[in-house]
Amino acid sequence: MPETPFIAVGGGLAGAAFALELARHGAPALVLESTRTAHHKVCGEFLSAEAQALATYLGLDLKAMGATSIATFRLASGRSHAEAPLPFRGAGLSRYRLDQALLDAAEAAGAEIVRGVTVGELEALEGRVVVTAGKRRFAGRAAALATGKHSLRALPRPPSDMVGFKIQLRVTQVALRHLAGVVQLAMFDGGYVGACIVEDDLVPLCWVLHRDLLQRIGADWPAQSAYFSQSAKIVAELLHDAVPKWEKPVAVAAIPYGYLRSQIIAPTIFPVGDQLAVIPSLTGDGMAIALYSGIAAAQAVLAGEDAAKFQERLVDRLRPQFRWAGIVNRLFDTRILHRPSVAFAGALPGLVTWIAQSTRLRGFEDVMERPKPIRSGLKA
């Protein structure tokens, strides 16, 4: 059985950040990623100020990668919309490009990347971890559980009826000008849909909805796009003459918004990203939490901290942010409040800016400032 001291089960943002932080501090790391090549994921592709700072800490140049600049938040319902300034300068960059850049950086730093490996089991046995992927087994001293929105069978998260979708669009020049510098969210009965511009003037459209609505309108793109266009004028304008980059939206089911994993799996298994915390997508801070938790888990390993202390510390850090996010999520989920919310946003944009700030990841700078001692014996 091959053995590498530290294993990331999953090569998304959290897993790649975990491996990169370890590798660039001299600790051997292995990433097991199920996909064989770069691919699109269900994600709004909006980078908050925290996410940008953490990506920069990891050595990425987002501007050179084609990231767009976003300064305005737009909220819509029906024929109405309102705008408010963001409390920071956001950015738009596709996960297709960002995830691959992190994996490339981890590999360049010395981590081993193994693709096309579907992990079925992660166990803690006699002070080490054992990862099973089909007939292959990998062993290590500790592992990051970084499978994103897809849980391992033995490590489930709470059930949920929320389903997420994403498709990438080439929109008209008129629509592109109207969306420039903006991240927009449109509320509808049963969910919401968001959009921003990413590299190469592409527009990812990402939406979440309850399963009962999905059963009513269907999962195919023509039916769903028609429903969105009927629900919000700004979405209809965005979708007018838009050309999808692929035929079917990518999708993920059972998204447990608001979930914080407080139960310890094992002292040597560190849940990160969506396996640790699932913030409502409308906050636009999921990528920041993924990067932060991956880096923090790596630093915990380097310092000899076990997963229990790591989880307790991060969950405590995230609770205030999740409380505010939960309040906003309930508002989005209550149809009768949609249009009053847009009117409220138009009348008091400063308060909307303050609410946006309240749903940010706090204290993330600690991973960029704290010393990172390497325990003896961690280097290869």
Per-residue pLDDT tens digits for 128-139: 999 999 889 999
Can you give the pLDDT at residue 374?
56
Distance CA(18)–CA(290), nearest Å, equals 10
- Closest alpha carbon to 2 in 143, 116, 142, 140: 140
Average of per-residue pLDDT values in the chain: 95
Question: What is the rounded CA–CA span in Å between residue 62 and residue 302?
Answer: 27
pLDDT at 86 exceeding the cut of 80: yes
Token pair 């009053």: residue: 340
Domain presence at residue 113: yes
The pLDDT of 307-334, averaged and rounded, is 96
- C-alpha span between 99 and 41 (Å, rounded): 10
What residue numbers bound the domain in which 12 lies?
A: 6-159+255-369
Q: Are 122 and 214 in contact (CB under 8 A)?
A: no
* Whole-number pLDDT of residue 306: 96
Residues 281-304 pLDDT 10s: 999 999 999 999 999 999 999 999
pLDDT band at 308 (very low <50, low <70, confident <90, very high): very high
Instruction: With a cut of 70, say whether residue 378 has pLDDT above it.
Output: no
pLDDT digit string, tens, across residues 175-207:
999 999 999 999 999 999 999 999 999 999 999
Angstrom distance (rounded) from CA 127 to CA 307: 13
The domain that holds 70 is classified in CATH as 3.50.50.60
- Mean pLDDT of the 326-345 span: 96
Q: Assess if residue 192 is contained within a domain.
A: no
98: in domain: yes
Would you state the pLDDT for residue 4?
A: 80
Which pLDDT band holds residue 375 (cuts at 50, 70, 90)? low
Residue 191 in any domain: the answer is no
Residue 370 has pLDDT above 90, yes or no: no
Residue 231 pLDDT? 95
Structural domain contains residue 215: no
What pLDDT, on the 0 to 100 scale, is given for residue 209?
Answer: 97
Domain assignment present for 181: no
Q: Measured in Å, how far apart are the chain's first and last C-alpha atoms?
A: 17
Burial letters 102-141, b for 16+ CB under 10 A, else e: bbebbbebbbbbbeebebeebbbeeeebbbebeeeebbbb
CA-CA distance, 220 to 131, in Å (whole number)? Answer: 36
Dist CA 205 CA 146 (whole Å): 24
On the question of pLDDT at 57 being above 80, the answer is yes
Residue 184 lies in a domain: no
* Structural domain contains residue 208: no
Closest C-alpha to 298, from 18, 110, 7: 18
Residue 372, pLDDT above cutoff 90: no
Q: Residues 226, 231, 235, CA angle at the centre, nearest 5°?
A: 70
Structural domain total, the chain = 1
